[in-house]
Structure 1
Amino acid sequence: MLRPPRLRDARSWSEIRLRNEQWLKPWEPTAGDSWAERNSVSAWASLNSALRTSGRRGTMLPFMVLYGGRLVGQLNVSNVVHGALRSCTVGYWIDDAVAGRGITPTALAVAIDHCFGVVGLHRVEVDIRPENTPSLRVVQKLGLRREGFYQRFLDIDGEWRDHVAFAVTVEELGGRSMVSRLANLPPQPTWRTRT
């Protein structure tokens, strides 16, 4: 299940983030403060406020990922642009304790359906570091199209990192939902991630 973030998510969010430092830190944006500081219970209030403000402005759709009724991750639809482009970028993370259960592909499929339906977007992009095998499997399971390769694209974990761009447009779903497509996709080929 996806739902908006809440102020009372602080303790659960912090516990998951702190416990998953080794799992998550290599894929996170470079920051000046320590992992413990930026993922503390007290850090959540300002992050939650920023997420909700961006949500109200319509530039972002922040979601918490729940599984079995408990918080297990986060998915953010960001860089939401309307007008002629009608596009967005999606980023996500999941608790290592539940990784590999199909939660992230399902959450991404639900978010894509929401973006194409309720929000009225035309294109969704997911940018992944070439060495992030778990995230590559997520877009592979959904059948997203490899679209490009960005050299030194984002400042991640202390260095400018390359990213592979994957995308899907509403026409590619042929009137079906991404959730139903996920349920009916045959095994997908593995992509070559280097140019």
Structure 2
Amino acid sequence: MLLTSIKTKLKLTSTQKVLMSKHAGISRFTYNWGLATWQVLYKEGYKPNHLILKKFFNNEVKTVFPWIKEKGICQKITEFAFENLGKAFQNFFEKRADYPKFKRKGRNSSFTINAGGKPINIGGNRIKLPTIGWVSTYESLPHTTTTKVTISQTAGDWYISCSYEIEREITNKEYDYVGVDLGVKVRSVG
């Protein structure tokens, strides 16, 4: 099996655009909260990680902000925001990236969702996203499944991207030997 990916533009209604913006806002808020909390804990001598921050956020912070649990909002976006924060710090510690920065509204808005371990069916010009429901695409998607999707905004347009597996074609060997061309020396007669 080979892993491949696709990214395509979404054809959204105005209501769906608002819903996408809410998801991206919650993802940004969660990431920024995690980064700020990480910095405070580090200054106080602790060694934080994204798993501890996620647990505290889910048990203590989510209860203070009811808009995070609003109907129609996929609760997995906070999980992926912490996962992205953990990857950002890992890349920083391994000297592959700069120190993580706070996310700003309107710049690289995105969020990732999954179906709680169940496959997400894609194919054709529509896809049913967990909690969000059916959304349309401008181009036809291959008929397959994926485990998670990322939705991002660029220049006012929303895009969906995901990875999926395809079968690798196995070619049969036609011959048991290989020919090698060593070239021919030509002597010019002149």
- Normalising by the smaller structure, the TM-score range is under 0.3
TM-score normalised according to structure 1 size? 0.24
TM-score normalised according to structure 2 size? 0.24
Compare CA radii of gyration and give the structure with the larger one: 2
Q: Pick 1 or 2: higher relative contact order, CA cutoff 8 A, min separation 6.
A: 2
Return the structure number with greater helix share: 1
